[in-house]
Amino acid sequence: MKKPLMLLLSLIPWHVWADDQTIEAIFKKYEATGTIVIQSYKDGTTYVWNTERSEKRFASASTFKIFNTLIVIDEGVFDPESTQFIWDGTMHEFPDWNRNMSLAMAYKASCVWCYQTLAEQIGAAKYLHHIRRAQYGEIAIPFQGTTFWLDGSFKVSAVEQIRFLRKLYQRDLPYSESSYDALESIMQANSPPAYRFYAKTGWARRVNPEIGWYVGYVVTSSDVWFFAMNTNIQTPLNLPLRQKITLEALQVKGIIP
């Protein structure tokens, strides 16, 4: 387990941080309505744009796949080293979903049918147990065990995403080291040598307005920075803004080159 930060950091109320004007300029440049929270693992330094929205809960969409992946591995439902999802020939709207896949491939493709197959095996009762134990977001009861992260039954704020990511990185939640190791490998995104990204996008399409997410953390030579960004999605053409705004915010704060 990684060493936890001082307890004092977790006690600081989020509203004490003022909106960051340099990050505001990025959102304005792209005419995007949203929020971002960026926080240092080392000393708790935090940058926020749209503080009010950062504490508002939205449908988690595929960002729940971070926690979901940890759950299914630890529950023994899916062995990421030896098991595959077998495509039954049903044609899905995204071509990347129309094939057999490993868990890592399903994570990166945000394959809904893959994770719904796993959800059927986990069941709503176990999901409720894991979510409550992690103190992660809010779930409406009753909920459908195969769609709750998509239909708005499970909601989470950007601030809560950061708190969860910190617990995940510190390995504070009661899951095995091997499960954490497997998740970390699956989360890792393509990155230049100077830093490493571990992240997940999300697109909540069954709610109005539709919400896009980008959450995760970046490991640099001197620190680890957690980030959680969400924005209203008016058209699929807005989807690249999730990563674009996040990367520019990390750059403008000097976190990545």
In a domain, 243, yes or no: yes
In a domain, 16, yes or no: no
In the chain, what percentage of residues exceed pLDDT 90?
91
Half-sphere exposure of 46 (CA within 13 A, CB side): 24
- Alpha-carbon Rg for the chain, nearest whole angstrom, is 18
| Three-state DSSP state, 151 | coil
Q: Do 104 and 186 contact (CB within 8 A), yes or no?
A: yes
Top-confidence residue, 15 or 168 = 168
Top-confidence residue, 18 or 104 = 104
In a domain, 40, yes or no: yes
Total structural domains in the chain?
Answer: 1
Domain that holds residue 38: 28-252
By CB atoms closer than 10 A (0-12, 13-18, 19+), residue 142 is exposed
In the chain, what percentage of residues exceed pLDDT 70?
93
The predicted-structure confidence for 137-187, as pLDDT tens digits, reads as follows 999 999 999 999 999 999 999 999 999 999 999 999 999 999 999 999 999
Say what angle helices 64-74 and 124-134 make with each other, to 10 degrees. Answer: 110
Q: Do 189 and 221 contact (CB within 8 A), yes or no?
A: no
User: What span, in angstroms and rounded, lies between the C-alpha atoms of 161 and 92?
Assistant: 29
In a domain, 1, yes or no: no
Name the pairing type of β-strands 154-156 and 210-219.
unpaired
> Is the pLDDT reported for residue 46 higher than 90?
yes
User: What span, in angstroms and rounded, lies between the C-alpha atoms of 44 and 73?
Assistant: 30
In a domain, 58, yes or no: yes
Tell me how far CA of residue 97 lies from CA of 112, 221, 236, in angstroms: 8, 36, 18
User: What span, in angstroms and rounded, lies between the C-alpha atoms of 153 and 209?
Assistant: 15
CATH number at residue 216: 3.40.710.10
In a domain, 208, yes or no: yes
In a domain, 141, yes or no: yes
Q: Do 128 and 141 contact (CB within 8 A), yes or no?
A: yes
Secondary structure element (H or E) that encloses residue 190, with its range: none
Q: Is the pTM of this model over 0.85?
A: yes
- What's the pLDDT at 191? 82
In a domain, 257, yes or no: no
- What's the pLDDT at 206? 96
Active-site residue numbers? 62
Secondary structure element (H or E) that encloses residue 75, with its range: none
Q: Do 139 and 121 contact (CB within 8 A), yes or no?
A: no
DSSP 8-state class, residue 154: E
How many residues make up the chain in this entry?
Answer: 257
- What's the pLDDT at 1? 52
Q: Do 114 and 77 contact (CB within 8 A), yes or no?
A: no
Model confidence band, residue 3 (pLDDT cutoffs 50, 70, 90)? very low
- What's the pLDDT at 216? 99
- What's the pLDDT at 149? 98
- What's the pLDDT at 41? 98
The predicted-structure confidence for 93-144, as pLDDT tens digits, reads as follows 999 999 999 999 999 999 999 999 999 999 999 999 999 999 999 999 999 9
Q: What is the mean pLDDT of residues 231-240?
A: 98
> Is the pLDDT reported for residue 8 higher than 90?
no
> Is the pLDDT reported for residue 6 higher than 60?
no
221: its two tokens: 């030579």
User: What span, in angstroms and rounded, lies between the C-alpha atoms of 205 and 255?
Assistant: 31
Locus of tokens 């080159």: 257
243: its two tokens: 């990563």
Tell me how far CA of residue 184 lies from CA of 99, 107, 115, in angstroms: 24, 12, 18
**222 Cβ partners below 8 Å, 6+ apart?**
42
